[in-house]
Amino acid sequence: MSVLTPAVHSLQRLRTATLIAGILLALASVVAVTVPVLGHRRAALEEARGRGVLVAQMLEADATRTVESVSVTLHGLADAMVAGGPRPQAAEGQWVEHMNHVLVGLPFLRSLAVLDAHGRVLASTNADEIGLELPMQRFERLPLPDRDELQPLQSGRTLVDLVNEGSVRPASVSMLPLLLQMPPPGARTAPSASAVTSARAPRRERVPSAGTASVHHGGRWLLALINPEALAQLQQQALPLSNSAAWLASPDGQLLAALESLPQVPGQTMAGHPVFDRLRQGPDHGSYFGAGALPGELIVAYRASPRRGLVIAVEQSRDDVLGPWRAGLWGPFLTGVFALGLIAAATVVVRRSLQARADAVDALQQAHAQVADRERDMRVLLRSVQELIFRTDPEGRLTFVNARWTTLHRGRVDEAVGRRLSEMAEPEDRDAVEALFHQQDGPRSTEATLRNGEGEPRRYLIAIVPLRREGGQGGYAGSAVDVTERARAERLSREARDAAQEASRIKTEFLANISHELRTPLQSILGFSELGMGRSGDTPKLRAMFEDIHGSGQRMLAMVNDLLDVSKLDSALGAFELRRCDLGELVREVVHELEPLRVQRYLDLDLQLTPPMPAQVDPLRIQQALRNLLANAIKFAPAGSTIELAGAVDPAATALHLCVADRGPGIPPDELERIFDPFVQSSATKDGSGGTGLGLAISRRIVEIHGGRLYAANRPGGGAEFHLVLPLRPPQGVVTA
């Protein structure tokens, strides 16, 4: 056996060490390559998950914004139609014109229509739909008054398809109805634009089914047909992978819009999708790895609209996401076989890491581009606004104006940029406009006169709001509304009011003066006629002449007294002195006073007074009003009939109610209010039997001074009713005892 030399041992040890070093280097290479590769795989999956979450968030925001834009439009149309009053025949043309203007600004809408309570189309942007009778039972969720509700997807393109088709079925062409029930006329005042926008958030009240539509007081409906294909086109632009899908569904699982890569078609149900189970058990957004609508293992991101309940999901194939990762495995693994390939493998990992970062930056740039598209859409919307919208720097120099500037000032928009807003106002208003930019925080406004492009002075209401930026004041945003016509109408109304008050004063003074001037000769006429009647003796003809003179004088004196009453009632309320008394006793005194006249005409009286009837009134004045009402009933009731006089405290214990009813000729409906005007008599009772036409006018004025109401109505079966309502509490400004 030979003896090994130290050099041989050194070579053997070196070989062994080389082998060990090779093995260790190989293991280190495998570890160095495997760790980054697995990390890259995880990063690719997480990046795909984040991309899906971002796309789902963007699609949900766009779908919600689309539906909310239609909702705000419907509420704006409803407010305008309710303010116009219940005149459908006169307003149909205006409705259609208004809806057509709205349709131009909302390209994702197919049509707008106004329905009555039974589903008949009153007005529509599609002329072929007018007069159709829609089956309201097709709408499963009917909203409450002044509420809107998104309906299930319907097959077809127009309302004609909705009428002809018997049931909902998947179709290549579909429509998404948004239904709003208009409030009854007079149920509210016209709100401002900001109030309308803030009031359109979805409500969680119970939504009635189609069978309960009759409870909504027969109101009208506004119906908008949204084009789901517009939502699907946005989904196509947003998805980065060809073998991926995005879909939009209703809260109950009906598929509303989807790409062609999805096996299901719009109209089918997605209720069994895992996304809906997760939404029922957790928050309204999230992501997961697992099953979905596409085959295979997926990366699913979902999000539910908090305002409309719409569900958006983005599904990406896990194999497609990992495809680039698998394609790059050969290089790192082959490089790891060689000992010196560690540096090359690290370089590849760095390069691929940088590529992943580049992909992320590219996705971010796409998101920024989509935000820019939204800003361009907002600029288009601002061009359609009929008010001047502007923005200034902190010193009040214009930095932006909308397209309305060109209409008002006949110039280009860029010509306004850089000019001070105060310099554009007339000299007398410049200080007020400049002061807007030097006040404390908060909105502020003023009126100023600016000249348009033709040199015509126009009055504007200018309002601005400060814009806050991080680090200080960012300028102001504002609007200018042309109020020239309104200002001219506030001025004309004021002049007309002053003229009317002056005419009323002159009339009152004239009536008082002429009445006093007439009473002096009338007293002489009445005195001498009475003396003549007493001295006529046995001369009937002479006595009859004096009686005629005396009767005419009495009628003239009654007219003069009525004129005096009119002038007194038009004066201050201090002429009335209220006392606490029993209204029933006052009524009985008037009945007793007029009893001879009633008996003379063979009339019966049905007196129904329900005590107690406490009142705080001027007894003489209230009896004067009651005397006029009862005397009219006795005068015009047919002989042998019955006059009804009833009185009681109303059930709410807030007022006393008296009613005088007869069976006379009644009052023409168009004269029920005119008979209370001075010197006006009903055409049905104007038979030449006398009267000045002042009795009812005086009576109404007396009742109004007491804070009450006096109105007339016709009785069923013939005759008239006069209702006198007095509050239990005395009105302010009247002398009380």
Domain spans in the chain, listed from the N-terminal domain onward: 230-331, 388-482, 488-569, 574-736
Mean pLDDT by 10 residues, the chain (737 residues): 48 54 64 80 86 86 88 87 61 78 85 89 88 84 87 86 62 83 64 39 43 49 87 66 81 84 84 88 89 89 87 87 80 66 60 61 74 74 70 86 73 78 86 83 84 79 83 79 79 78 68 61 74 80 80 70 61 66 93 88 94 90 90 91 94 90 92 83 60 77 91 93 89 53
Of 381, 388, 386, 378, nearest in space to 478 by CA: 388
DSSP state of 184: P
Q: Are 257 and 238 in contact (CB under 8 A)?
A: no
The answer to whether 230-331 and 388-482 have equal CATH topology is yes
3-state secondary structure 616-669: EECHHHHHHHHHHHHHHHHHHCCCCCEEEEEEEECCCCCEEEEEEECCCCCCCH
Q: Are 479 and 388 in contact (CB under 8 A)?
A: yes
Partners of 581 in the β-ladder? 615
| Rounded-to-integer distance, Cα 455 and Cα 274, Å | 67
| Rounded-to-integer distance, Cα 433 and Cα 398, Å | 13
148, amino acid identity:
D
Q: What pLDDT, on a 0 to 100 scale, did the predictor assign at position 658?
A: 95
Q: What pLDDT, on a 0 to 100 scale, did the predictor assign at position 193?
A: 37
Q: What are the CA-CA distances from residue 473 to residues 312, 468, 476 (Å)?
A: 39, 5, 9
- Which residues, in sequence order, are CB contacts of 163 under 8 Å at separation 6+? 132, 133, 134, 135
Biggest distance spanned by C-alpha atoms of the chain: 193
| Rounded-to-integer distance, Cα 318 and Cα 44, Å | 10
Which pair of structure tokens corresponds to residue 226? Answer: 């949204």
Q: What pLDDT, on a 0 to 100 scale, did the predictor assign at position 264?
A: 84
| Rounded-to-integer distance, Cα 131 and Cα 154, Å | 20
Concatenated DSSP letters for 246-287?
EEEE-TTSBEEEE-TTSSS-TTSB-TTSHHHHHHHHS-SEEE
| Rounded-to-integer distance, Cα 717 and Cα 719, Å | 7
Q: What are the CA-CA distances from residue 253 to residues 65, 343, 348 (Å)?
A: 20, 53, 46
Query: How do strand 109-115 and strand 709-714 relate by DSSP bridges?
Result: unpaired
Query: How do strand 255-258 and strand 244-249 relate by DSSP bridges?
Result: antiparallel
Classify domain 574-736 at the CATH class level.
alpha beta
What's the sign of the alpha-carbon dihedral 185, 122, 115, 197? negative
Range 388-482 classified under CATH 3.40.710.10:
no
Classify domain 230-331 at the CATH class level.
alpha beta
Q: What pLDDT, on a 0 to 100 scale, did the predictor assign at position 128?
A: 85
Of 384, 389, 428, 388, nearest in space to 408 by CA: 388
* Peptide bond before residue 145 is cis, with ω within 30 degrees of 0: no
| Helices and strands (H and E) in the chain: how many | 17, 24
Classify domain 488-569 at the CATH class level.
mainly alpha
Of 49, 57, 179, nearest in space to 114 by CA: 179
Q: Are 32 and 345 in contact (CB under 8 A)?
A: yes
